[in-house]
Homo-oligomer: A and B are copies of this chain.
Amino acid sequence: MSYAKQMLDSYSRTFKVDSGVLAATIDALNDCAQACTADTDADLSEQNVTEMVKCIRLCLNCVDVCTATAGVTSRQAEYDANVSRPLLEACVAICKSCGDECERHAHMPHCRVCAEACRRCEQACRKLLDAMK
């Protein structure tokens, strides 16, 4: 069981959203941030870096947005839809763009793995947005 899930389960409080959905989203956000950090470094190691510039920029944005979203999603006590909703929407958008760009380079194993992490994170954020309705 991930630490995100263990930590949510250790609270006595109840959440507006199922803790399993919350924990799965937090895990997907952290996984995606890690994959994008590593993919940036792998992209920079490619011989043809020029072709990887867009991928690097999207990965850097994806790290920033996923990290913030993981933090805010972990603080459910001051949950505010006016913050969480647009933040998750921004996260869905950057995970979609970054996943699309990584998939274009799916012949490079690091981009294939990163694309998968982005897709999973995009889906997890969409699922949480649905659960928040």
Q: Which residues of A contact B (CB under 8 A)?
A: 2-4, 6-13, 26, 30-32, 34-35, 37-42, 44-45, 49-50, 53-54, 56-58, 60-61, 64-65, 67-68, 70-72, 74-78, 80, 82-87, 89-90, 93-94, 97, 108-110, 112-114, 117
Contact = CB atoms under 8 A, between A and B. Distances in A.
A72 B68 CA distance: 12
Contacts of A94: 80, 83
Nearest to A113: B6
A58 B112 CA distance: 25
A60 B71 contact: yes
Contact of A34 (B4, B35, B49, B117): B4
A108 B12 CA distance: 10
A30 B70 CA distance: 11
A71 B37 contact: yes
A39 to B, nearest CB: 7
Given A44-B57, A65-B72, A93 B80 contact: yes
A87 B91 CA distance: 8
Query: What 10 pairs between A and B have smallest CB-CB spacing?
Result: A7-B38, A68-B68, A10-B109, A86-B86, A64-B71, A10-B110, A87-B90, A57-B78, A82-B93, A86-B90
